Structure 1
Amino acid sequence: MSIIVFGSINMDLVTRTPRLPVPGETLLGYDFFTAPGGKGANQAVGAALLGRTSYMIGRVGNDSFAQELLTSLKVAGVQTDSILIDDTTSSGVAVIAVDDRSENTIIVIPGANGKVNHLDVERLEKLLPNTTVLLLQLEVPLPAIIAAAKAAKKAKVKVILDPAPAPEKLPDELYSLTDLITPNETEASRLVGFNITNQETMTKAAEFFISKGVEIVVLKLGSKGVFCATASESFLFPAFKVNAIDTVAAGDAFNAAMAAAFDSGLSLRKAIEWGAAAGALATTKKGAQPSLPNQETFDTFLETNT
């Protein structure tokens, strides 16, 4: 079986600086590099590196970044035949600043990602019969995301939604099509309308998502671990201890590994463990896709830490 990722493909332009600037301030940084990214592409690469058959559906522009982005996906083992090269626009770009505490700010310019539409969903539909999981994010237009979720639901494929970047509100229709939602604290707080600060507010947030029709809620809490809730149970999974230097793509690594676990037929708790392990490993390296663990690194880490 396979995993499909329907979403964004970006080139990340990453700067390192002692601290993040405040509005109107100019700071001197000390490092700059480019790295293929985009939440969709990151998740596709993450799943492929863990040995799963991973398809990417999305768009790149007709520019110098496009071939680099496609090559990076192919080298990782991602199936790229369903990616469209859009002659009308540029490839997506993300401008990322990372400080010495490993905190980051990200500005995304959608480019070709903003052109994703029903034609891309048609390419998705052809692949659904042999698929176990569809991974979605919010870096492509919402109508296309909803259409993709509808197609997956009809094909009885598990829909995992990473609601990032999070708007103030999502349509109820998308919640009803989502089997599992994976916001971090900031995203969840924005969507539910209150700050998530303790287990009581975690539970309240989970109840909000479940009331909207989501079956499983997974709150990614960084160094505090992962809170998971369904209508019948909830539990807190502790974070793995690592030396974090860059949190970029940690959430994408989490979702990719969780999808890989489901594609392998594993349980929800095991999927959470896989997600937490991959997310932790991703924080130990710089960049988005370069930080995603391969199967050997991942397996060794799990053997050592569980």
Structure 2
Amino acid sequence: MHAKTNVTAAGQPGRVLVIGSINTDFVARTRRLPQAGETVLSHAFETVPGGKGANQAIAAARMGARVAMIGCAGRDAFGAQRVRELAAEGIDCAGIEVSETHPTGIAMITVSEAGENSIVVASGSNAALSPASVLAQTDRFRACDVVVCQLETPPDTVHAALATARRLGKITVLNPGPATQPLPLHWMPLIDYLVPNESEASILADGLPNAEDAALALHRAGARHVIVTLGARGVYVIGDAVEGAHHPALPVRAVDTTAAGDTFVGVLAAQLAAGCTLDAAMAHAQIAASVCVQHHGAQPSIPRRDALPISASVR
């Protein structure tokens, strides 16, 4: 069964529920990324809020969506600060649990002068988010239009969220990062919008190296739409009403690609929740991602709606 079209009139704020990770990012900036076994010196270091779930929730909120989040933080200074920051964005944080046994998740990120990054994540409290935690928040699913998940929380928890959203007729978005193996086949019909990057798409499609072929295979496996993000080359989309199309990226000079994919996903969800067409939603998401990569950091680089150079053609 596909999701109902139960969103608000196009252009009006929709309601987005994000189930996902909350991290603290430790970011080192280097001239280039190190090779295996190599030590390089960093010329700058900072600690910033991150986590794919939190990033996507903030991206949706900064586009004007009404956002709620389900997640898990540790009972430590990092966790308390991350939740305060989410609340300051107007995000409903009542669904965020506090773990007594796990520290707040962290990510160690190296960013090169070319804007490339390398990321290692220690899940911490994100691993403590259980299916029972999700099922206890059914009222939040009922109150939303679009449900967004990633893979930085346990697989059973993600499946519970997708299954609950499908049962309640909500639009589902899965950003399958980090992908380590193909998704279980019974997940695929639960996904309205599968949004991997190019390497994730290949992993999910049993090693198919070509983005177009991987997207087609994932669509045939049951995902209603597949949107493969290609970095500076744009996105490739295929779906129920889309035979397969490439949307070029805006030409910009990237200084840091951290959170660009999360910005794309969060803005896409916000626009879909507002009743936009897929083409318009992707156009907004691509513009937001192009602004994101021109700034440093994860959440600090996620733009607000009034900062986007939106043309009339994508309104």
- The aligned amino acid for 1:144 is T
Structure-1 separation of matches of 2:239 and 2:305: 29
Structure-2 separation of matches of 1:11 and 1:146: 25
Percent identical = 35
Of 115-124 and 248-257, deviating more is 115-124
- Deviations along 1:149-199, one digit per CA (max 9) or x if unpaired, are 000000100110001001122111221211110111111112213354xxx
3-state SS of 2:159 partner:
helix
Q: Give runs of ≥4 in structure 1 deviating > 2 Å.
A: 193-196, 303-306
Structure-1 separation of matches of 2:92 and 2:203: 34
User: Which position in structure 1 is the counterpart of 2:284?
Assistant: 274
Check the 8 A contact 1:57/1:123 in 2, yes or no: no
Q: With structure 2 as the length reference, what TM-score do the two structures score?
A: 0.92
Aligned length: 300
- The aligned amino acid for 1:254 is F
User: Which position in structure 2 is the counterpart of 1:214?
Assistant: 223
Of 204-213 and 27-36, deviating more is 204-213
Q: CA RMSD in A?
A: 1.4
Equivalences for residues 222-261 of structure 1 within 5 A:
222-232=231-241, 233-261=243-271
User: Which position in structure 1 is the counterpart of 2:213?
Assistant: 204
Shift of residue 52 of structure 1?
0.7
1:62 maps onto 2:75 in alignment: yes
Aligned residue among 55, 60, 63 for 1:42: 55
User: Which position in structure 1 is the counterpart of 2:115?
Assistant: 102
Structure-2 separation of matches of 1:255 and 1:179: 13
Shift of residue 305 of structure 1?
9.1
User: Which position in structure 2 is the counterpart of 1:179?
Assistant: 192
Structure-2 separation of matches of 1:165 and 1:69: 21
Shift of residue 304 of structure 1?
8.7
Aligned residue among 286, 297, 306 for 2:307: 297
3-state SS of 2:245 partner:
strand
Check the 8 A contact 1:49/1:77 in 2, yes or no: no
- The aligned amino acid for 1:251 is G
3-state SS of 2:26 partner:
strand
User: Which position in structure 2 is the counterpart of 1:265?
Assistant: 275
3-state SS of 1:209 partner:
helix
User: Which position in structure 2 is the counterpart of 1:158?
Assistant: 171
Check the 8 A contact 2:71/2:129 in 1, yes or no: yes
Aligned residue among 103, 122, 132 for 2:145: 132
Check the 8 A contact 2:58/2:86 in 1, yes or no: yes
3-state SS of 1:131 partner:
coil
Structure-2 separation of matches of 1:303 and 1:258: 17
Q: Of Structure 1 and Structure 2, which has the larger fraction of its residues in helix?
A: 1
Flag structure 2 segments of 5+ consecutive residues without an equivalent: 1-13
Check the 8 A contact 2:135/2:160 in 1, yes or no: no
Shift of residue 203 of structure 1?
2.9
- Deviations along 1:250-300, one digit per CA (max 9) or x if unpaired, are 0000011111111111101111111111111110111111010112102xx
Flag structure 1 segments of 5+ consecutive residues without an equivalent: none
- The aligned amino acid for 2:143 is N
Check the 8 A contact 1:42/1:289 in 2, yes or no: yes
- Deviations along 1:53-96, one digit per CA (max 9) or x if unpaired, are 00110000011101110111111221111101111110000000
Structure-2 separation of matches of 1:124 and 1:25: 46
Check the 8 A contact 2:27/2:111 in 1, yes or no: yes
Q: With structure 1 as the length reference, what TM-score do the two structures score?
A: 0.95
Check the 8 A contact 1:124/1:148 in 2, yes or no: no
